[in-house]
Structures are given as structure tokens and as C-alpha cells.
Amino acid sequence: MSGFVSFVSSGPGDPELLTLKAADRLARADVVLFDDLASGPVLGHARPGAELIAVGKRAGKPSAKQDHVNQLLVEHAQRGLRVVRLKSGDCGIFGRLEEELTALAEARIAHEIIPGVPSACAAAAAAGLPLTRRLTARRVQFITGADVTGDLPEGLNWPALADPGATTVVFMGKRTFPRLVAGLIGQGLSPDTPALLAEAVGHPAQRLCSSTIAALAADLAQSRSEQPALILYGPLAGFEAPDAADDA
């Protein structure tokens, strides 16, 4: 008898940002396959006695191979178990979801996708920033700063990335951001374009740092921090939200 797989989006890591459906699936799961960034307090919602299996991938660290993750999903579901595949942020954004969906489809295993709070939205909220603004920030774009080798991806749409009227969110881009910025400036984007580094969003170690793309690139070229991070740049990255206390 085939089981069932729920792809559960954990949000940025704060368990209070889990959706009700995500918490329900965790509470009923027999097996939870979780990523590194989806561990910690979120796993406290798992059913007592559920098998917890770490299958995360982190740059520069020993990581589970994608084929092995696919195999684990299929094997546990084929045992008739309720399986949760726990991914950080929203599982459909740079989460290799399609490869796992394909493996389940080929094995004819029923599944569902439960969306969550994207880490980009959580980072902006933590910094008190909107992602869009009428007239001056009409577009939001999400990009990955690293390909499968960890290098800056080839074939980037440089004119789009250097659009001064867009908010750009770079996932997994701390190591490659200096090279990205060199390309952006070469395309005419001002070195003084506001930038925000958001590390460990939704976790106790969360750190937000406002800068410019040029200054942040210089800092990251010297940084050895291994905290996961997002980088936002564009007209709103330097926006300062009104102090709610001033309006009271």
C-alpha cells in the first residue's frame, strides 16, 4: 500500500510563521525528511515518535545527494507511511522541488504541496521594508547567486538585474556577490544602490545589515560567516520604516 508525501514549507525558521496546514501535517507524519534550514524549533511540531531524517544541503559541507533524497521519499511512501518533506521558506522557490515531484510521479505516489512564507518576504518584514512601491519599485525578482558548483550562474539577464526600478532578492549569494556587483556596476547600476544583508532570518542569530551594493560586496569579500543569508538590493533596500511608537 502506498503512503502519502506532503511537501511542507517551513517558512524562514520561526515556528510561529508555520501555516496551520503545515503544523497539522507535521503532527501526523510518520517520517520527516528535513533540510538544514528547516530544522530547529520547527521540528518541535513533529509527532512524538516520528522518524526524523536530515537530508539538507549546505555549500562547502557534506550534503545528501538529490538522488538519495528522492529514493528515501519513494521508499518510505511505498511502506504506506505518511511522509513530510520539510523545506525552508516556500518549497517552490530554489528548493529543487521539481526533481522530487518527478520521482514521486514516476513511482505513482500521491502527494501535496503546502506553501509557506518565502524567506525573502520574511527578511523584508524583519527589516520593516516593503518589497514594492508604486512608481519606483514596480517589480520584484528572485535569483540564485550560486549554481550547482557554487559559482555565479552563467547566462544571467544582466539588464534585468541592473534595473534600478526593481527589487532584487539574491538567494545563496554571499560568496558570489562581489562578482555579481562588478557585473551590475558594469551594466550601469549605481554603486550606491541600497542593499540589505539578512542573515539567519527567523532564527535567534538573525542579523540585518543595511549598506550599498559596493560596500556590501567589499565586506563579503572579506567575510567568513557561514550563516545562511539573503541579499536584497534596489530602491527599497534602504527604506526606513516609520517608528510605530512615533505614531502612538
Which of 21, 24, 36, 57 is flagged as catalytic? 57
Sign for the CA dihedral angle at 214, 118, 104, 82 comes to positive
Rg over CA atoms, the chain: 19
Residue tagged 562581489 (cell numbers):
178
What is the C-alpha separation between 173 and 151, in angstroms, rounded?
9
Q: Is residue 35 annotated as part of the catalytic site, yes or no?
A: yes
Place of cell 516593503: 130
**Pairing mode, strands 229-233 and 110-114:** unpaired
Half-sphere exposure at residue 10, Cβ-oriented, CA atoms within 13 angstroms:
29
What are the residues whose beta carbons fall under 8 Å from the beta carbon of 66, sequence distance 6 or more? 96, 99
Give catalytic status of residue 57 as yes or no. Answer: yes
Q: Which of 14, 35, 90, 163 is catalytic?
A: 35
- State how far Cα 38 lies from the chain centre: 10
Distance from C-alpha of 89 to C-alpha of 142, rounded to nearest angstrom: 13
| Cross-strand partners of 112 | 6
Residues 153, 31: Cα–Cα separation, whole Å: 34
User: What residues pair up with 233 in beta bridges, in sequence order?
Assistant: 168, 195
Q: Cα–Cα distance between 115 and 161 in angstroms, integer?
A: 26
**What is the set of active-site residues?**
35, 57
